Amino acid sequence: MANYNPVTPEVIAELEKIVPGRVVTGADVNPDYARDEMPIYGTHLPDVSIDVLTTEEVAGIMKVCYKYNIPVTTRGAGTGLAGGCTPICGGVVLCTMRMNKILSYDLENFAVTVQPGVLLQQLADDALQHGCMYPPDPGEKMATLGGNVSTNAGGMRAVKYGATRDYVRAMTVVLPTGEVTRFGSTVSKTSSGYSMTNLMIGSEGTLGIITELTLKLIPAPKATVSLMAPFEDLDACISTVPKFFMNHFKPQALEFFEKEILVSSEEYLGKQVFPRQIDGVEAGAYLLVTFDGETMDELDPLVERAAEMLLEEGAMDVLVADTAPKLKDTWAARSSFLEGIEEQTKLLDECDVVVPVNRIAPYVAFVNEAGKKYDFEVKYFGHAGDGNLHIYTCSNDMEKDAFHDQVDRFMSEIYAKAMEFGGQISGEHGIGMGKVKYLAEAVGPVNVALMQGIKKVFDPKLILNPGKVCYSL
């Protein structure tokens, strides 16, 4: 592992020449820059923070840091959940939040060019004004697009439209040396050598700093409808998921969750949306399904067939949300699951394993059984349509060290089972600093060595976001 140098007055003076008035040090550094949204991985204040505005500024800063061997961590909104933007070696934090302009639309090629600090919700709303949709739909709408690309964020529409990776056409990147390069173009396919664009997507800021993105858009669907299907028990609920694909229903989103996590979310929002009982019988779990298309006339037969299938598979009822207010309330409850958990939990860790869709039910059964051996509570929900499960370990009364120890053993168990089922460690949140050990255990020494070799080619001094993804400190 690299040995880094301290940020000296000489270094600060050189940085000031590049970004005068924006080099923040010591007690003036924003404490939020010490961590992301998952504080269980610790806080580490940087020596310096800089809110950057241009590619040229980033390049100049990197040249200084490369020369003096100063570690650099890039962050956007800090909404990550794996410690990915935590500056564990101190040094410099570059925040891209002020690089927040939608630069241009190319409507003939259905593309948009943005700076990395543009928020997901900002682009989603703006694209609709142009008759377009940006399909990636992670739950955290206040995340930046640069952060989404850096973790290959997935979200609820991934089952139909794919993850962020499928919508990145091109990018401008500043390398650790300060060199500026461009990967990709607006064309829809390429066989032109190694895919440098795809190396950057999901690399979590360890290979380069993204300063501009060209993203693919699609024509916005004109009609959307959601179905809420309560089930008496979780197993029947999850076992229904593969039937959507066997019947060629092609949902835009397909989510599952237990009643307890729904109640937390609705209490957080102060509004009940989903029924808790049907004809006096308690609902134990729910499927939430969305379809989209050109017209409601097109969707109506599909919705009818899907509802019939759900009832045949044991749904207690099927409720339809087909107006803007109903859709908003329904998905607000789903989107607030994490906030509801955070509000009610003192000690919290999470993972977002992904398994084949037909293994969700046995995998959840394994997680439930494994969780019984520990003192924390296990909560979960998931993108049932693509097998991506969000599993949370929660405690309000354990000691922190005991919580860490038990969570580590639990995570090792459930990650190993996910790999046994043909799954992966992370479906969308990334590895960051919190999952480095588990990734190494899952992929083995050969693959770790390959990842580390790629890292060294891009970043020979290992100064960019150290201690993340494939290197531990």
Is the pLDDT confidence value at 173 over 70? yes
**Mean pLDDT across the chain:** 95
Give the span between the Cα atoms of 215 and 184, in whole angstroms: 11
Q: CA nearest 365: which of 237, 203, 173, 177?
A: 237
Percent above pLDDT 70 for the chain: 100
- DSSP character for 192? S
Give the span between the Cα atoms of 188 and 190, in whole angstroms: 7
Token pair recorded at residue 180: 């500026």
Say which residue the tokens 């500024």 belong to.
57
* Residues near 73 by beta carbon (within 8 Å), at least 6 away in sequence: 46, 85, 86, 87, 91, 92, 93, 94, 205, 464, 465
Is the pLDDT confidence value at 1 over 80? no
Token pair recorded at residue 39: 């504080």
Mean pLDDT of 88-111: 97
**How many Cα atoms occupy the beta-carbon half-sphere of 141 within 13 Å?**
13
CB 155 within 8 A of CB 136: yes
Among 255-269, 291-305, 417-431, which stretch is predicted with the lowest mean pLDDT? 255-269
Mean pLDDT of 213-224: 97
- DSSP character for 287? E
Give the span between the Cα atoms of 315 and 103, in whole angstroms: 47
Please report the pLDDT score of residue 323 as a whole number: 83
Residue 174, H or E segment:
strand 168-174
Give the span between the Cα atoms of 298 and 302, in whole angstroms: 8
Q: CA nearest 331: which of 85, 87, 120, 156?
A: 156
Q: pLDDT category, 214, cuts 50, 70, 90? A: very high
Q: CA nearest 440: which of 468, 462, 397, 470?
A: 470
Residue 347, H or E segment:
strand 347-351
Burial of residue 159 (CB within 10 Å: 0-12, 13-18, 19+) is: buried
Model pTM score: 0.94
pLDDT in tens, 24-66: 999 999 999 999 999 899 899 999 999 999 999 999 999 999 9
Burial 421-448 (b: 16+ CB within 10 A, else e): bebbbbbbbbbbbbbbebbbebbeeeeb
Indicate the pairing of strand 223-231 with strand 319-321: antiparallel
Give the span between the Cα atoms of 349 and 434, in whole angstroms: 9
Cα dihedral 100→106→109→110 (10° resolution): 50
Token pair recorded at residue 215: 């993203």
Paired with 256 in beta bridges are: 287, 382
More confident residue, 275 or 63: 63
CB 196 within 8 A of CB 208: no
Token pair recorded at residue 473: 């400190």
pLDDT in tens, 317-373: 999 988 888 888 888 888 888 888 998 999 999 999 999 999 999 999 999 999 999
pLDDT in tens, 70-83: 999 999 999 999 99
Quickly count: other Cβ atoms within 10 Å of residue 103's Cβ.
12
Please report the pLDDT score of residue 123 as a whole number: 98
**How far is C-alpha 413 from the chain's CA centre?**
23
